[in-house]
With several copies, the nearest count.
Chain A
Amino acid sequence: MSETVAARTAFDLIPKATGPQAAKDFKSDQEVRWCPGCGDYAILAAMQGFLPELGLARENICFVSGIGCSSRFPYYLNTYGMHSIHGRAPAIATGLAASRPDLSVWVVTGDGDALSIGGNHLIHALRRNVNLKILLFNNRIYGLTKGQYSPTSEVGKLTKSTPMGSVDYPFNPLSLAIGAEASFVARTIDSDRKHLTSVLRAAAEHEGSAFVEIYQNCNIFNDGAFDVLKDPESRDEALIRLEHGSPITLGKDGQWAVVRTGWGLGVAETASVDPADIVVHDETVEDASYAFALSRLPGLDLRNTPIGVLRNVKRPTYDSIVREQLETAATSAPKEEELARLLNSGDTWTIL
């Protein structure tokens, strides 16, 4: 929209830490209370390990969450934090981020919190491109309420509320986010700390809304939901690791490759295709059709699941334009004087 915006990086306006930071600086004094074995622990550890790397003043980082197991996250980080109400974190964070450019604002949410009750706030935050980093812990189940199916659960899922199998066709969170004009869309997985950290880094650096889906195991109510992506036996065949600028392949020794098929993308045997036909990943493609096509690769069985950054394009952020408008409107006159002028505007008269 303007020079100023383009020139800014995600951190320009945020105060920096004055000294070195370590993971332990980001641990709060609250006892962590997820079930033993829950994937949330790994994500927390990765976050605590990653935050020092950001180098921001700790007090200028704020985590806002909704309700759910995942939404307990802010309690365990020694930053500012708000554990709000179910589904509303993106809205609350929008108010915070839009009025405080000096903060790094993160939203932590679950598949129920973000996609069920909070779906509307999520898609609106994404289209607005508010400067928020939204982490959706997708365990494909409602954990906190003890195991009902969620909007990402597979059709036919047997849960307490669906004894004959769930009926609703699931969302593909990345497709939804891309359809909602998201400027940054990525996916990662609780079990791969290095990858998780790399995606957090990319999200943090993105100026605007960053949407990150994190596959997270709920070992109590949906254990093994992502095993096909974790199991050393199957994962190489199932996971597609996206790297900006590299041809997209998967499988042992890149046995499979992503190529155009039909009107979208598909997977073919590398040996059988012209190397020039292998898609070279470019997260900056403006046309959202590319990232969308990538998001459609996985089947319902999770085979061919891309992880990494699918889309990362520049678009003016909501908060930066709002700030610009405020700056444009600002005057140097004392506010008191301006107020007197305002009240006296229009037709006035004097009674003596």
Chain B
Amino acid sequence: MSDVSSPEAKPIRQLDHVVIRFAGDSGDGMQLTGDRFTSETAQLGNDLSTLPNFPAEIRAPAGTLPGVSSFQLHFADHDILTPGDAPDVLVAMNPAALKANVGDLPGGATVIVNVDEFNKRAMAKVGYATSPFEDDSLSGFTVHQVPLTSMTVESLAEYEVPKRDAVRAKNMFALGLISWLYSRPVESTIAFIERKFAARPEIATANVAAIKAGWAYGETTEGFAVRYEVKPATLPAGNYRNITGNTALAYGIVAAGVRSELPVFLGAYPITPASDILHELSRHKKFGVTTFQAEDEIAAVGAAIGASYGGALGVTSTSGPGVALKSEAISLAVALELPLVVVDVQRAGPSTGLPTKTEQADLNIALFGRHGEAPVAVVAASSPSDCFHAALEACRIAVQYRTPVILLSDGYLANGSEPWKLPEIDELPDLRVAFADGPNHTLDNGEEVFWPYKRDPQTLARPWAVPGTAGLEHRIGGLEKRDGTGDISYDPANHDLMVRTRAARIEAIEVPDLEVEDPTGDARVLALGWGSTYGPIGAACRKLRAAGQSIAQAHLRHLSPMPANLGKVLASYDKVIVPEMNLGQLSTVLRARFLVDVIGYQQVRGLPFTSTELESVFEEVVKNV
């Protein structure tokens, strides 16, 4: 943090970036608080990145460690890539929140605690034998003990709000205080509150009053001697909004429907952390988006296949356990050669695993998780806003090449957010494809016929002939079929041909070359990733470069097929380091394909990498090259 004093009543220090974490009980409204602070920050033009973290339970018992919910926000006056490795500031609404998060704080961090909640019972519940303010467990930090609850209740004394509601407004008090501290405007939040509680104006009034009281507290208390300011970032010009990965992904699918002029049909069964895609898409019926909440994941993908067969853009969204269940049906889609987008918002496995935690261990099942030779395209998103573009790309491949595409996101992208420069609609790719409408083959006897498996010579895609098209009546299915006619065929040579053709179809998909970022141009080490590790890898590379080292970075959007230049890229570095939140699934693929001794670096903790961690790993590699 850079310090610049200012000559006001309370001096304002300039910072280039801040990482702040709001933590409290599940019922304390930390996600909302974080969201609002994010929005204020976004309005100010900072670059930012967020990381919510909620318990697996709906409402774990109040005051317990498993019940802690938190929201981390990183904002800066420059372009940033991650929600921050460690918080500069922790707002802890109760002892559990302090206990659960204090371990993540670097020395010198600021801790703002709601001291009202630090009674004996509450502290004992989480194992504080003595008050943490009385021993030296917080000695390395700047601690502000703020009686958030009581001050909130007091500040609402003049309003006729029940005590319970007054107490609940304490998160808004905290928001007001923190907004003051970091010089964020609260107007938009006030407007938001008034919208949200339009039906219950007394609640709106109380919350607004709490915000203002928090702000006033900052201005008047002596506890806070300085304010901070983080200047807007110089981002490319344009319209921006803050967006989470799940919303961006859903928007990408809506956009694909618009740009392909196809109705979208989503078949989905709720599952964390993918459910919000279903929720979001169910709100966009005006775009002709149908959402079908199926009885299970198999029905969900089945219905999507049925809809695709009928000429819709068939999509199904799920997480790992659901992908496992869909395997057999995806294999059918491979045989049918129909468009299908399967969204996998990865979570920590195996089995039920850690449903609310992130991981990228489904690359294997995406690439290899079907019986027989059943290749599909695989695309991965690299940041929350990139989910939009990745979804469009998955849809492009699906409709243009008539193939299932697995789109990999993960829990970190799904719930994390960042500012997104809104694209111009007409610059989005044109995804229109033509349905078959007549014969496509001439028999030796001159007869014109329709062959459902006659391929486009370039894309190797078969025609998309939808029911309702006169003269194109045909039958398709999961049995092996003769190339061209599509008739059932038990011919050994034909089967061999079809197996190879299905593989060739995927390899024939045109994907852009892999781009490498190597500002100094002399890097001998490449850091290669895929998916949500983009942020931490990028941040680590920047740090390393800032420290005078050279390192190149590249990130794979396409896992199947892979970019044509990938082999060449790999060969042009002395060392390739591949960080993954799994046990080395991409490493394995690269090693097999290119016989390159890539160095894998793995952590499987249900959390994203920190850039610091990766920086030191990369540094080690760079030093030893």
Contact = CB atoms under 8 A, between A and B. Distances in A.
Any A–B CB pair closer than 8 Å = yes
Contacts of B332: 84-85, 88
B241 A352 contact: no
Contacts of A75: 475, 477, 488
Nearest to A347: B39
B242 A347 contact: yes
Given A92-B302, A161-B279, A344-B241, A85 B58 contact: no
Contacts of A99: 263, 265, 290, 306-307, 310-312
B239 A344 contact: yes
Contacts of B45: 349, 351
User: Is the interface on chain B under 10, 10 to 19, 20 to 34, or 35 or more residues?
Assistant: 35 or more
A164 interface: yes
- Which of B66, B232, B237, B299 has the most CB atoms of chain A within a 10 A radius of its CB? B299
B305 A347 contact: no
A87 B321 CA distance: 12
A128 B303 CA distance: 14
Interface string A268-302: 00000000000000000000000000000000000
Contacts of A67: 352, 478
Interface string B268-281: 11111001001100
Contacts of A119: 295
B296 A116 contact: yes
Nearest to B264: A99
A74 interface: yes
B352 A85 contact: yes
A336 interface: yes
Given A33-B61, A91-B306, A326 B476 contact: no
B61 A32 contact: yes
A260 to B, nearest CB: 35
Interface in A26-62: 28, 30-36, 57-62
Nearest to A102: B468
Contacts of A330: 285-286, 288
A344 B255 CA distance: 13
A333 B271 CA distance: 34
B425 A336 contact: yes
Contacts of B440: none
A148 B285 CA distance: 18
A94 interface: yes
Given A95-B292, A336-B258, A349 B287 contact: no
Interface stretch (A2-10, A137-145, A228-236): A137-145
B33 to A, nearest CB: 15
Contacts of B236: 351
A84 B477 contact: yes
Interface in A63-96: 64, 67, 69, 74-75, 77-88, 91-96
A124 interface: yes
A194 B212 CA distance: 51
B275 A151 contact: no
Contacts of A342: 251, 254, 284, 287
B270 A148 contact: yes
A121 interface: yes
Nearest to B475: A81
A331 B287 CA distance: 8
B43 interface: yes
A198 B1 CA distance: 67
A158 to B, nearest CB: 11
A31 B423 CA distance: 49
Given A85-B332, A143-B58, A117 B269 contact: yes
Contacts of A351: 45, 232, 235-238, 240
Main secondary structure of the interface of B (DSSP, over half): mixed
Contacts of A84: 302, 305, 332, 477-478
B293 A162 contact: yes
Nearest to B308: A95
A67 B241 CA distance: 36
B583 interface: no
Given A325-B285, A326-B288, A151 B467 contact: no
A35 B232 CA distance: 41
Given A59-B473, A220-B58, A350-B239, A161 B311 contact: no
B296 A120 contact: yes
A348 B275 contact: no
A88 to B, nearest CB: 5
Contacts of A325: 285
Interface in B333-382: 336, 351-352
A57 B470 contact: yes
Contact of A83 (B258, B292, B471, B477): B477
Interface string B18-55: 00000000000000000000010011010000000000
B597 interface: no
Nearest to A69: B58
Contact of A163 (B282, B292, B314): B282
Contact of A161 (B293, B306, B425, B473): B293
Contact of A95 (B66, B265, B351): B265
B267 interface: yes
Nearest to B479: A83
A43 B524 CA distance: 64
B309 interface: yes
A31 B305 CA distance: 27
A87 B302 CA distance: 10
A77 B469 CA distance: 16
Contact of B425 (A57, A64, A339, A348): A339
Given A36-B61, A91-B298, A82 B487 contact: no
B148 to A, nearest CB: 22
5 contacts: A34-B57, A163-B282, A335-B288, A336-B258, A343-B425
Which A-B residue pairs are the 8 nearest by beta carbons?
Answer: A95-B306, A83-B477, A95-B303, A91-B302, A329-B285, A35-B59, A96-B306, A91-B299
Interface of A: 15, 28, 30-36, 57-62, 64, 67, 69, 74-75, 77-88, 91-100, 102-103, 116-117, 119-121, 124, 142-146, 148-149, 151, 160-164, 166, 168, 220, 322, 325-326, 328-331, 335-336, 338-340, 342-352
Interface of B: 39, 42-43, 45, 57-62, 64, 66, 188, 232, 235-242, 251, 254-255, 257-258, 263, 265, 267-272, 275, 278-279, 282-288, 290-300, 302-312, 314, 321, 328-329, 332, 336, 351-352, 422-423, 425-426, 467-479, 487-488
